[in-house]
Amino acid sequence: MRILFIGDVIGKPGRDVVAAELPHLKESLGLDFVVLNGENAAHGFGITRAIASEFFAMGVDCITTGNHWADQKEILSFINDEDRILRPRNFPPQTPGRGANLFQTRSGERILVINAMGRVFMDPLDDPFASVDAELNACPLREAADAILIDMHAEATSEKMAMGHFCDGRATAVVGTHQHVPTADAQILPGGTAYQSDAGACADYDSVIGMDKFQPVQRFLTKLSTGRFSPATGPATLCAIFIESDARGLASRIEPVRVGGRLKETLPVVQAGGKLRQP
Ligand SMILES: [Fe+2]
Ligand SMILES: [Fe+2]
């Protein structure tokens, strides 16, 4: 199975680069399933029904989120009926929405997507490790799912790496989000799980983690939170992670994807006939 995981989409520049690049990435990489983190899609804060519909129309199959999942209050009116949008699984059990769901790809394969959130330097939540463990036990790889992807939305790289090793051999991929900068540690862990600490964002990188740089710099200079943050408006880079799984549901390949905007482009090399060249 070929999966593309797209990092946090920041406002309109992020949505525009996804709209511009996703259709031909789907085609050239032969994607079976596309997951996108949409927690910052609505002007940097949360996601609306209209924006989610745009993503689905572009070919996104599942939208994960994070600490900003409910910034747009309208999501509370539809998240219980929209099972393609996930919020972190380890919110208290009474929270609307769901943190995991089993999907079917166009070719009929089953993929479980789990969204979890870290607790280091973040709001206190239930234990993300116990939460992910419960989902993996309820829907084991190979028996109940042909692939399993976990979006670990966290501030601390250590917590994300620990989640990668905790799931190694039981999931196809553990990918990190929330930091908005892609990390250079894409690898397949010893047990066969693909891992990258942060997918990066779909954002203008002439910014402070996707936001117009003026207000964040002022906030560091003065320690006053006066001005509002809004997304930087220059051309965005699409940051994503390409993962291919084998017959065991484990990863045979992981490669970063960066296209558009200021960051240096990197793409899996596709040969004639749709075959991917081994890195
Ligand atoms: Fe984010
Ligand atoms: Fe976040």
Closest CA to 267 of 246, 237, 245, 235: 237
pTM comes to 0.97
The tens digit of pLDDT for each residue in 6-15 reads 999 999 999 9
CA 71, CA 74: separation in Å to the nearest integer? 9
Find residue 145's DSSP bridge partners. 141
Give me 207's structure tokens.
């910014």
Query: Nearest Cα to 239, choosing from 180, 197, 188?
Result: 180
Residue 180 pLDDT = 98
d(CA 247, ligand 2 centre) in Å: 33
Give mean pLDDT in consecutive 10-residue pieces for the chain, a chain of 279 residues: 98 98 96 98 98 98 98 98 98 97 96 98 97 98 98 98 98 98 98 98 98 95 89 98 97 98 94 69
Q: Which residues are known catalytic residues?
A: 68
Query: Token digits for 209?
Result: 């983690």
Distance 170 CA to ligand 1 centre (A): 26
251 φ/ψ angles, rounded to the nearest 5 degrees: -85, 135
Tell me: the pLDDT tens digits for 42-69? 999 999 999 999 999 999 999 999 999 9
Give the chain's mean pLDDT. Answer: 96
Instruction: Please name the residues in contact with 77: beta carbons below 8 A apart, sequence gap of 6 or more.
Output: none
Please report which ligand is nearest the Cα atom of 231: 1
Distance 155 CA to ligand 2 centre (A): 8
Three-state SS for 93-115 is CCCCCCCEEEEECCCCCEEEEEE
